Amino acid sequence: MCGIVGYVGKAEAVPVLLDGLRRLEYRGYDSAGLVILRDGELFRRRAVGRIKNLAKLLEEQPVAGHLGICHTRWATHGGVSEANAHPHLDRSGELALVHNGVIENYRDLREELIGHGCEFRSQTDTEVLAMLVGRELDLRGETPVTKELLLGAMRKALRRVQGTYGIGVVHRQLPGMLFGARRGSPLVLGIGKGEHFLASDVAALVTHTREVVYLKDYEMVTAWEDGFEISSLAGGGCSYEINTVEFGAEEVSKGKYPHYMLKEIFEQPNSLRDTMRGRLSSEEATAILGGLNMSNSELRSVERVVLSGCGTAHHAAMVGEYLIESMAQLPTECEFASELRYRNAPMPKDTLVFVISQSGETADTLAALQECRRKGHRSLAICNNVASTIARESDGGVYMHAGPEIGVAATKSFTSQVLVLNLIALLIGRIHNLSSMQGREILKELEQLPEKVEKVLATGDAIAALARKYASCKNFLFLGRQANYPVALEGALKLKEISYLPATGHPTAELKHGIIALINEETPSVVIAPSDAVFDKNLSNIEEIRARKGPVIAVGTEGNRSLEEVADDVIWIPEAPDYLVPILATIPLQLFAYHLAVSLGCDVDKPRNLAKSVTVE
């Protein structure tokens, strides 16, 4: 989950590297460091904490040069310390390496290298990799080090590695040359005029170039000012495609907003429009999803659907289970990707699998996809990065078009995922049982959704005041029924992620089966209670909470005044059909979590211990 940036070109490297690191800080912020290669010498600077600490160190100990690599760390092996910060050096001190991923067999490799006289200065698995490449160079015994020698040493070392990696490498004897390789962790090459870049994410590059090559697993890259080469871990060249990044620097900046999270919450009307654009067919009264790569007859033969994801994506999958079963009458179930990859669950041959991941690089979700495909199941992806590993390795899927999401706490990606699942449910439903009249009614409601979201966002000031009112509370309960139960889980997750307050989500009907023991005057219950078939049941549960003096914040449908009689506070959402309420009900919970965290002084864009893209197990 760490962030990597590399640069080679005519410009001063340090400003480019720091700018890229700041744009990748959502990937990790335990420590940061860089190495600059100049005049045959490596200059390393490392600092614990945020990137601003590294920037301050560089003001005190400046370094100049046109080639460098840098890293922002999310700790996996070893505590947060300068010694564990990247880049790490090999035994000779001539090779520097930065790494995103996990080397699973690092202990065995470390013991072997110690036996060969290597002295380790850190607790990290990354230093093992640096030492291993250096050891392979030593074994060749040739001087000076050439590009071919270093690539050969990297290949031999990486073949011995078990786990995942995206790496950047520079060597003292190879001025003007930047090296990289990937397996299981993202790495992208940026192509400029007289300069080239490496990064874990294109967000680090868009201020400099929008022409990129997304490296595939088991590929290596060598870049210099005026060119680059891509080769395989086995040796030999690789074909590649130069892609143009769809978004620019403005879309990865905060603009007028104080935080990325707030900006992304308010981008949801447009992100939802973009998710739907070109996918609604009034003529056929259905959704058009050509990326599934499945004909209607193939979709009709599906007997079972499995939806899988992690965290917020799993909550979206849970909503999708309700949607597909209600619209298409097709048995559907959800699996945590982290469990599905290890389970030996019985899956009939006509099972269709959807994996959901904003980044398209989530390690557990990727492994679940690979396992399902290995067993012969058609496996499709819902993701926000068309060039991601999950997108490339799936049999097809749906690109969300939600735009870049920088805030660690997912917001617009969740609502876009739920909207995509609505489109899938509509498509399959029309094949099976929905009439054209029903299909057109669903399309009409979908088209009105962005405007209804704008109405919810217009209540932001009132939600902010409500958040401040409850900011002194130490625990929260979130409750919902049917498709709004996963919304309760998502609301609780948002609050936990950015305010660090204990919050749990539950089915409202489970209240009296144990949860009610938690009710007291200091614990607010956020109850999602729209005007639906179970509204009266929700009302009864609210009465049970109030009877025990528990404060109640209700999320209800405009015009339903009976909620005001039983709830302490009510957040209103526009009237909508059941299948769209989860989207509308989620947005006030995002705003509530955001404003509560801000009132507590929390860093909502970079919550402690979290990173945006979970690319390690």
Residues 198, 599: Cα–Cα separation, whole Å: 38
DSSP assigned state of 237: B
pLDDT in tens, 103-117: 999 999 999 999 999
pLDDT at residue number 306: 96
Model confidence at 247, pLDDT cuts 50, 70, 90, reads confident
Q: What is the pLDDT of residue 617?
A: 54
Q: pLDDT digit string (tens) for 515-527?
A: 899 999 999 999 9
pLDDT value at residue 492: 97
- Class of residue 536 by CB neighbours under 10 A (exposed 0-12, middle 13-18, buried 19+): exposed
Q: Are 182 and 154 in contact (CB under 8 A)?
A: no
Phi, psi values for residue 428, rounded to 5°: -70, -35
Share of the chain above pLDDT 70, in %: 98
What contacts 276, CB < 8 A, 6 or more positions away? 419, 423, 446, 447, 449
Confidence band, pLDDT 50/70/90 cuts, at residue 483: very high
452: amino acid identity, one letter: K
With a cut of 90, say whether residue 347 has pLDDT above it. Answer: no
Catalytic residues: 2, 612
What residues contact 318, with CB distance under 8 A and at least 6 apart?
A: 307, 334, 485, 486, 489
For residue 153, pLDDT over 80 is answered with yes
Q: What is the mean pLDDT of residues 551-580?
A: 94
Query: In 489-523, which positions are buried (b, 16+ CB within 10 angstroms) versus exposed (e)?
Result: bbbbbbbbbbbebebbbbbbbebeeebbebbeeeb
Within 422-548, strands assigned E span: 476-480, 503-507, 525-528
Residue 69 · residue 58 · CB < 8 Å: no
Q: Mean pLDDT across the stretch 176-181?
A: 96
What integer pLDDT is reported at residue 427 of this predicted model?
Answer: 97
Read off the pLDDT band of 363 (50, 70, 90): confident
pLDDT above 80 (res 249)? no
> Which residues lie below 8 Å from residue 472, measured CB to CB, with a gap of 6+?
none
What residues does 4 pair with on adjacent strands? 71
Instruction: Express each pLDDT in 262-320 by its tens digit.
Output: 999 999 999 999 999 999 999 999 999 999 999 999 999 999 999 999 999 999 999 99
Q: Nearest 5 degrees, angle CA 14-CA 19-CA 25?
A: 120
pLDDT in tens, 85-99: 999 999 999 999 999
Mean pLDDT of 207-228: 94
| pLDDT (0 to 100) of residue 1 | 66
Q: Which residues 6+ apart lie within 8 Å of 27 measured at CB?
A: 1, 2, 3, 72, 74, 100, 200, 201, 611, 612, 613
Q: Give the pLDDT confidence score for residue 561 in this predicted structure.
A: 85
Radius of gyration of the chain (CA): 26
Model pLDDT, residue 107: 93
CA neighbor of 68 nearest in space, from 110, 96, 109 = 96
Question: Residue 30 — pLDDT band, cuts 50, 70, 90?
Answer: confident
Per-position b or e across 376-404, b if 16+ CB within 10 A of its CB? ebbbbbbbbbbbbbbbebbbebbbbbbbb
Query: Does pLDDT of 577 surpass 60?
Result: yes
Q: What is the pLDDT of residues 527-558, one digit of tens each?
A: 999 999 998 999 999 999 998 999 999 999 99
From the CB of residue 463, how many other CB atoms can be counted at a distance below 10 Å? Answer: 24
Q: Are the beta carbons of 134 and 197 closer than 8 angstroms?
A: no
Residue scoring higher pLDDT (341 or 46)? 46
d(CA 125, CA 108): 11
**pLDDT at residue 92, as a whole number:** 94
Q: Which of 212, 175, 226, 233 is nearest to 41 (CA)?
A: 175
What does the pLDDT read at residue 489?
A: 98
**Lookup result for tokens 């009710």:** 519
- Check pLDDT > 70 for residue 101: yes
What is the Cα–Cα distance from 609 to 341, expressed in whole angstroms? 24
The identity of residue 35, as a single letter, is V
The answer on pLDDT for 215 being more than 60 is yes
φ/ψ of residue 215, rounded to 5: -70, 145
Burial zone of 170 (CB within 10 Å; 0-12 exposed, 13-18 middle, 19+ buried): buried
SS (H, E, C) 162-200: CECEEEEEEECCCCCCEEEEEEECCCEEEECCCEEEEEC
pLDDT at residue 610 in the model: 74
Could you tell me the pLDDT band of residue 140, with boundaries at 50, 70 and 90?
confident
The total number of residues written for the chain in this structure: 617
Give every CB contact of residue 547 below 8 A, 6+ residues apart in sequence: none
Whether 615 shows a pLDDT value over 60: the answer reads no
Q: Which of 485, 472, 499, 497 is nearest to 529 (CA)?
A: 485
pLDDT at position 38? 95
| Separation of alpha carbons 408 and 612, rounded Å | 5
What is d(CA 144, CA 383) in angstroms, rounded to the nearest whole number?
Answer: 46
Helix (H) or strand (E) holding 96: strand 95-100
**What angle do the packed helices 581-599 and 412-432 form, to 10 degrees?**
170
Q: Output phi, psi for 379, to 5 deg.
A: -130, 120
Domains along the sequence of the chain with CATH: 3-248 (3.60.20.10), 254-451 (3.40.50.10490), 459-604 (3.40.50.10490)
Q: How many CB atoms lie within 10 A of CB 330?
A: 20
pLDDT of residue 149: 95
CB atoms within 10 A of CB 436: 12
pLDDT at 612: 59
Mean pLDDT (the chain, rounded): 92
Q: Give the containing element (helix H, strand E) for 48.
A: strand 41-48
Residue indicated by tokens 């298409």: 328
pLDDT bucket at 22, cuts 50 / 70 / 90 = confident
With a CB cutoff of 8 Å and minimum separation 6, the contacts of 216 are 182, 238, 389, 392
pLDDT value at position 611? 64
pLDDT digit string, tens, across residues 433-464: 999 999 999 999 999 999 999 999 999 999 99
Q: Is 33 helix (H, G, I), strand (E, B) or coil?
A: strand
> From CA 283, how far away is CA 295, in angstroms rounded?
18
Q: State the greatest distance between any 2 C-alpha atoms of the chain, in Å, as a whole number.
A: 83
3-state secondary structure at position 301: coil
